[in-house]
Amino acid sequence: MCKKTIVLGVIGSDCHAVGNKILDKFYSDAGFNVINLGVMVSQDEFIDSAIETGAEAILVSSLYGHGEIDCMGFRERCTERGLEDIVLHVGGNLVVGKMDKARIVEKFKEMGYDRVYTPDVDLQICLEELRADLKC
Amino acid sequence: MLISIDIGSTWTKGALFTVREGKLVVENRETTATTTDDLSIGFREILGRLRLTAYGETPVLCSSSAHGGLKITAIGIVPDLTLESARLAALSAGGKLTKAYSYRLNSTDIREIEASQPDIVLLTGGTDGGNRSYILHNAELLSKSNLDCTILYGGNRDLQDDVRNILIRKKLLIAANVLPDLNNPSPQEARDVIRETFMSTIIQGKGLQSIVELTGSAPVPTPAAVFDYVTHLDREKTFEGDFSFIDMGGATTDYYSAVSPVSTDKVIRKGIKEPRIKRSVEGDLGMRVSALSAMESDRMTLEAEAESRGLNLDDFLDYLKKVSTMTEYIPVDAEEKRFDALLAGFCTANATTRHGGTRREIYTTSGSAFVETGRNLKNIKTIIGTGGYLAALDDDPFRHYPVPAVTIEGEEILSPAEYRYFRDHRYLIPLLANAARLYPKEAAASLKPNLTEIKD
């Protein structure tokens, strides 16, 4: 089992707590040391926590439609604060309205996220890809 | 019977207590000016006077805050996480924080620390199993420094052996991590080690050694005694609900509070978990030595306040300059009293704002909620003013200088909403705090009868 530390949270002013708790349980059961910051987490809170806990990945959720604005500049901020090698995953209802899935993935990859997930994804795939990214 | 003596930076105070019906009763109360070159002279004088009325074997307890207490430099990684936890540990131990450093130290920082001559360097960083690189870097730099004071390591547990090897030539002590995981700050062990260090190292010089010979134990730092006293008062449920002490002196304003967590689904908490008992120290807010630095902390607001009260601004500034060098100055006329009242209100309001947290309202799919940062003081039902000025002031400083409702950013300030204000009119709190080391229950029961409520 991979015991690496990961930071989890719902970004911005988003209060959706249920999915966050499911992800916490899912990744903990898979062996990860999950630092769950809960809802309404700012970019700096993710980064602060990753620095102190020595986390190797940050998993960002967003459900309320403002994900694009909240997630912008996160990769740059990580680099600026010394987390240049951190793995970034993002998932949820990332944009408002109907946008093509491929377009969403492309948009967030451009922003520097290593993996981008839409609501229809199988969590098992997320887990396998996280393990691949962390080489564990 | 017991004798309690507190050596402050200006006054040395003492009281002779008898234990009667579960309370400590003041039989005699004495004060003299602190003899800064040899603290034991003033101490002996007070002890001699109190012993005149004592009979039998009387234990003597002593606390001291002279010379500002124990100087601590705190080092952490993220300012709001491990560095904040290190601050909590240092302040609850009764220390004086000379400087705090986050992330990686550099050679300029090291020179600055060397020049400030701290008694203890508290090195923290990383949760258990967490960050390594910052701590190893900072330990390396400390190992190459000229520092010969105690270095206390209270960071990531995984690195204790590494840190021990790196700092092998230094006076190194190791305590449990102040932030073992992000949800549970644990400053207690580091705090206890700091206190023990205070006892064993600070007593050298300034006549404290002879006090140890007289009393059989080292004087405790006054703020540490008061911190423990707040803990006893809380445990004994002396006051209904949350309560706080504001101890305003010439140089600093200390704020102690006992606050129970309020948790509802409507509140989303941010930052590290608040401890039940907390002490904060504002080194730039005070009535004399810090009068000018208090003004500099928010000049615009203070000047606007002075003008709205019809005070002459130039005279006010001259007054602040004057008293900042005359530590024992007492106002001579009505105008100077108004200057002091304004300064006192400004300091108490700002100390409260800084001790407390803020919140903002947000709207969610399930109604409105609050995002809360820092300490919620809204449920404080009792505020007690102590320290020379507030002990003597027959008034509630907040009535004339209320804590602002919102910050500049528009966030609500979580200050006490409905409270009763009391003053420690005999200035007994440090003496009772000291006595609480032998009689915690009795000392807790003796506070209320010695307070005066300020009513409308």
Per-residue pLDDT of chain B (456 residues; tens, 9 = 90+): 999 999 988 889 999 999 999 999 999 999 999 888 888 999 999 999 999 988 888 999 999 887 667 899 999 999 999 999 999 999 999 888 999 999 999 999 999 999 999 999 999 999 999 999 999 999 999 999 999 999 999 999 999 999 999 999 999 999 999 999 988 899 999 999 999 888 777 666 677 888 888 888 888 889 999 999 999 999 999 999 999 999 999 889 999 999 998 777 788 888 888 999 999 999 899 999 999 999 999 999 999 999 999 999 999 999 999 999 988 899 999 999 999 999 999 999 999 999 999 999 888 777 888 989 999 999 999 999 999 899 999 999 999 899 999 998 899 999 999 999 999 999 999 999 999 999 999 999 999 999 999 987
- A107 CA: distance to closest CA in chain B (Å): 26
pTM of the model: 0.90
B78 touches chain A (CB under 8 A): yes
Q: What is d(CA B274, CA B259) in angstroms, rounded to the nearest whole number?
A: 9
| Residue positions of A annotated with a catalytic role | 14, 16
* Nearest chain A alpha carbon to B367: A15
Label residue A85 exposed, middle or buried (CB < 10 Å: 0-12, 13-18, 19+): exposed
Q: Calculate the average pLDDT of chain A.
A: 94
Q: Which residues of B touch A49 (CB under 8 A)?
A: 81, 182
Name chain B contacts of A54, Cβ cutoff 8 Å.
126-127, 129-132
The tokens describing A58, both together, are 């940050």
Does the ipTM surpass 0.85?
A: no
- CB nearest to B130's CB, from A38, A39, A53: A53
Report CA B6 to chain centroid distance, whole Å.
Answer: 16
Contact B77 A51 (CB under 8 A): yes
Q: What is the pLDDT of residue B9?
A: 81
Output the six-digit token pair for B425: 């009119």
- Please judge whether B82 and A40 are an interchain contact, meaning their C-beta atoms are less than 8 angstroms apart: no
Per-residue model confidence as pLDDT tens digits over B339-388: 999 999 999 999 999 999 999 988 877 788 898 999 999 999 999 999 98
A119 CA: distance to closest CA in chain B (Å): 19
- Please report residues of A whose CB lies closer than 8 A to that of B81: 48-49, 52
**Closest C-alpha among B61, B101, B69 to residue B84:** B101
Q: Which run of H or of E encompasses B299?
A: helix B299-308
CA distance B394 to B425: 8
How far out from the chain centre does Cα B435 lie? 19
Task: Mark yes or no for CB contact A49/B182 under 8 Å.
Answer: yes
CB contact under 8 A, A52 and B81: yes
In B227-326, which ranges are E strands? Answer: 242-248, 253-258, 267-270, 277-282
C-alpha to C-alpha distances, B343 to B101, B212, B350, nearest whole angstrom = 30, 38, 11
Q: How far is CA A18 from the centre of its chain?
A: 15
Which sequence spans correspond to the domains of chain A? 5-122
Looking at residue B317, what is its pLDDT? Answer: 96
> Are B421 and B398 a contacting pair, CB within 8 Å?
yes
Cross-chain residue pair B131–A33, CB shorter than 8 Å: no
- d(CA B30, CA B14) in angstroms, rounded, equals 5
Strands B358-364 and B367-373: antiparallel
Separation CA B376–CA B398 (nearest Å):
18
Minimal CA separation from B358 to chain A, in Å: 16
Contacts of B126 in chain A (CB under 8 A): 52-54
Which residues in chain B have Cβ-Cβ distances shorter than 8 Å to A38? Answer: 268
With a CB cutoff of 8 Å and minimum separation 6, the contacts of B183 are B272, B273
Q: How far is A130 from chain B (nearest CA, A)?
A: 19
What beta strand segments (E) does A56-130 contain? 57-62, 87-92, 115-117
Phi, psi torsion values for B369, nearest 5 degrees: -145, 170
CB spacing of B268 vs A39 below 8 angstroms: yes
Nearest-by-Cβ selection for A52 from B78, B268, B362: B78
pLDDT tens digits for B439-451? Answer: 999 999 999 999 9
DSSP letter string, B122-147 = EE--S-TT---HHHHHHHHHHHTS--
For domain A5-122, the question of CATH label 3.40.50.280 is answered with yes
Strands B60-64 and B2-7, by their bridges, are parallel
Q: Which of A52, A77, A81, A83 is most worth mutating to test chain B (most B CB atoms within 10 A of its CB)?
A: A52
